[in-house]
């Protein structure tokens, strides 16, 4: 069974997913970061594929992507780093990146490499849902990979239900239409949006991302969804702390998940 499916069958609330950029701050830190996240009790890890034009990302992740590319990180190198990852890391793993590098690699080859190293799914923010349905869905299913789709406050109920019907794993509920980046709190409008989606009684669980950076935003997310995704704050901590373990522990303390 796919590890993402297993996770949501055993836990329905309070799930923490953490994103980091492969190759940042050092080119060879991928396994070290994943093992630190697992030691910290993180439930799911999203490994960012660095790209020169990350249009959905804010300045923190943009800078990390630039540094990772300067460090020589590539998709091929990332798969090499993940070759033996399942010897030490048990939690579900997702690759998150833009369509351009995936297409340069070749989608069939990408899916085959994901399955070979034990990656469980992917998030491709600029993959249109219609294209996913016609050109990519069957290939992903054949390799038992979950393709996670993003929903924003502007996404219609009709489109949300269509995504819910034709994808598995979870739905990535974007807190706003802005780029990624830390927020101190969610205003009433965003919390009403979270509650509105919750009342739709979707088949798939949801994780809320974009802006999760402290206990207030984490608690607001898990009140209306199965969990939350942290990205920019953790990437920032990786650049500021002495080790991935310190970055993880600082993040958990910030979210109220320490101990």
Q: Return d(Cα 26, Cα 45) in angstroms, integer.
A: 18
135 given a catalytic annotation: no
* Active-site hit among 43, 46, 120, 164: 46
Q: How many CB atoms lie within 10 A of CB 87?
A: 9
Query: What is the three-class DSSP state of 207?
Result: strand
- Total residue count of the chain as it appears in this document: 259
Strand partners for 227: 15, 207
Q: Return d(Cα 200, Cα 192) in angstroms, integer.
A: 13
| List of E strands, 184-226 | 206-209
Candidates 204, 57, 33, 232; CA nearest to 121 is: 204
Query: What is the three-class DSSP state of 217?
Result: helix
Q: Return d(Cα 149, Cα 160) in angstroms, integer.
A: 10
Q: CB–CB of 211/188 below 8 Å?
A: no
Q: Is the dihedral of CA 234, 238, 240, 241 positive or negative?
A: positive
46 given a catalytic annotation: yes
* Active-site hit among 43, 57, 120, 168: 57
Catalytic residues: 46, 57
């Amino acid at each position: 069974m796919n590890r993402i499916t297993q996770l949501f069958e055993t836990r329905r609330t309070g799930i923490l997913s953490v994103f980091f950029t492969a190759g940042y701050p050092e080119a060879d830190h991928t396994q070290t970061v994943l093992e630190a996240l697992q030691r910290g009790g993180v439930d799911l890890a999203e490994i960012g594929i660095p790209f020169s034009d990350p249009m959905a990302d804010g300045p923190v992740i943009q800078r990390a992507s630039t540094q990772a590319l300067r460090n020589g990180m590539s998709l091929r190198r990332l798969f090499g780093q993940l070759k033996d990852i399942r010897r030490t890391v048990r939690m579900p793993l997702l690759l998150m990146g833009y369509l351009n590098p995936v297409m340069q690699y070749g989608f069939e080859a990408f899916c085959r490499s994901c399955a070979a190293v034990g990656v469980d799914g992917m998030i491709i923010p600029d993959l249109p849902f219609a294209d996913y349905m016609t050109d990519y869905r069957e290939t992903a299913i054949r390799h038992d990979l979950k393709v996670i789709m993003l929903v924003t406050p502007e996404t219609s109920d009709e489109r949300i239900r269509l995504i819910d019907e034709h994808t598995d794993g979870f739905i990535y509920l974007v807190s706003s239409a802005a780029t990624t980046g830390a927020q101190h709190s969610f205003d009433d409008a965003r919390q009403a949006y979270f509650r509105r989606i919750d009342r739709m009684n979707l088949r798939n669980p949801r994780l809320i991302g974009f802006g999760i950076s402290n206990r207030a935003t984490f608690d607001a997310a898990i009140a209306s969804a199965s969990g939350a995704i942290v990205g920019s704050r953790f990437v920032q901590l990786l650049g500021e702390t002495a080790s991935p373990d310190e970055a993880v522990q600082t993040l958990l303390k910030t979210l109220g998940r320490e101990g």
